[in-house]
Amino acid sequence: MMSREDSPPRREVFALFGGIYSNAPALRAAIGDALQQNATRFYCLGDLGAFGPHPDRVFPLLHEYNIETVQGNYDDSIGNGLNDCQCGYTDPRDNHFAQISYDYTLSKTSEPNRRWMRDLPKEIRFECAGLRFLLCHGSPRRTNEFLWESTTSTAFLDRLADDYEADVILATHTGLHWQRELSDGRLFVNVGVLGRPANDGQCCVWYTLLTIEWDHDTAPQLTVKFRPVHYDHERLAAEMRSEGLPDEFVQTILTGWWTTCMEVLPAKERLRGKF
């Protein structure tokens, strides 16, 4: 029998998908890429619908690959038939486009899929290599809280890690991927989104691969890789057009620049974009 000292190093690779926004082709491409990268576990952090066409096409992929999914604010809204997406915009233009997207998604999501979203958990917790992982949508304390890189202090993230007893917090919701090392080797990662580009003029979308390596006598090593996903975005754009979705949304897919829902962007993130 092998002694503890002889046990081989262990390794897990988590594929973490943020907001899908009905972009099923990007989700399919991301799953393919993660499999090639030897991902061992798959997670989705919520917001399955919005923005894109044919929301029901996302669900079979989540089921086929056993992707454990957190409930996003959009999933809560669509699942429970609420009036809006709970993003809380006040700019009339942002609200106009958000409502078009919401009404379309609500009308096109089947009842079984709505029921499934309604029952999704607000968070997923587990331990791996002795580290406590917490997967949520916006923040551990609020599904629709925006944690932007430039408006979230490290002291605040440390407090969340303390209060919610987590070593690694994984979130999405803002649409932009970023990470921050916290005190005592803890980590916060915004895993990005597959639903639309990262407002950087590129047509790819992003997900996160988190690798954990450990053995009996060293502390676990965490490696975060933000992975660009290239997919047939022109085909997605054509489908959005044929579904009558706004040209503003289509342009984002084709150009990589956000055109709507800009009100909530802080200065630094807004300045990096074109609009």
Partner 1 sequence: MCAMTSDTPHVTLDSLDVLWFQVAGTICNLTCQHCFISCSPTNKTFGFLSLETVESALLESVAHGVKEYYFTGGEPFLNPALVPMLERTLEFGPVTVLTNGTVLKDEWLRRLRAASETSKYSLEFRVSIDGPDAERNDPIRGERTFDRALQGIRKLCEFGFLPIITMTQTWDDSENEAVLSQFRQVLRGVGNERPRLKILPRIRIGAEAERTNGYDEFERITSEMMDGFDQSQLLCSYSRVVTDRGVAVCPILLDSPDALLGATLEEAAEEFPLAHGACYTCYQFGSICTNPSTKRQEHG
Q: Decide if 38 contacts 94 (C-beta within 8 A).
A: no
> In the complex with partner 1, which residue's Cβ is closer, 160 or 191?
160
Least CB distance to partner 1 at residue 264 (A): 5
| Beta-sheet pairing, 10-17 with 178-181 | unpaired
> In the complex with partner 1, which residue's Cβ is closer, 3 or 153?
153
What is the 3-state composition of the chain as percent helix, strand, coil, each rounded to the nearest 5?
35, 20, 40
Least CB distance to partner 1 at residue 159 (A): 3
Q: How many residues bind partner 1 (CB under 8 A)?
A: 39
**Coil, helix or strand at residue 216:** coil
Interaction pattern, residues 24-63, with partner 1; x per rule: CB under 8 A: ----------------------------------------
Interaction pattern, residues 61-100, with partner 1; x per rule: CB under 8 A: ------------x--x-----x---xxx-xxx--------
Least CB distance to partner 1 at residue 247 (A): 20
Least CB distance to partner 1 at residue 172 (A): 14
> In the complex with partner 1, which residue's Cβ is closer, 74 or 206?
74
Please give the Cα distance from 249 to 160 (Å, whole number): 34
> In the complex with partner 1, which residue's Cβ is closer, 25 or 138?
138
**Coil, helix or strand at residue 205:** strand
User: Residue 200 interacts with partner 1 (CB under 8 A)?
Assistant: no
Please give the Cα distance from 245 to 253 (Å, whole number): 12
Least CB distance to partner 1 at residue 224 (A): 16
Q: Decide if 254 contacts 271 (C-beta within 8 A).
A: no
Please give the Cα distance from 147 to 230 (Å, whole number): 26
Which is nearest to 18 in space by CA: 195, 216, 248, 234?
Answer: 195
> In the complex with partner 1, which residue's Cβ is closer, 204 or 264?
264
Supply φ then ψ for residue 190, to 5 degrees.
-90, 115
Q: Decide if 105 contacts 22 (C-beta within 8 A).
A: yes
User: Residue 184 interacts with partner 1 (CB under 8 A)?
Assistant: no
Footprint of partner 1 on 122-161 (CB under 8 A): 138, 142-146, 148-156, 158-160
> In the complex with partner 1, which residue's Cβ is closer, 160 or 212?
160
Footprint of partner 1 on 232-271 (CB under 8 A): 262-271
**Coil, helix or strand at residue 136:** coil
HSE value, Cβ hemisphere, 13 Å, CA-based, for 100: 18
- Cα 220 from chain centre: 24
User: Residue 118 interacts with partner 1 (CB under 8 A)?
Assistant: no
Contact residues for partner 1 (CB under 8 A)?
73, 76, 82, 86-88, 90-92, 138, 142-146, 148-156, 158-160, 162, 262-271, 275
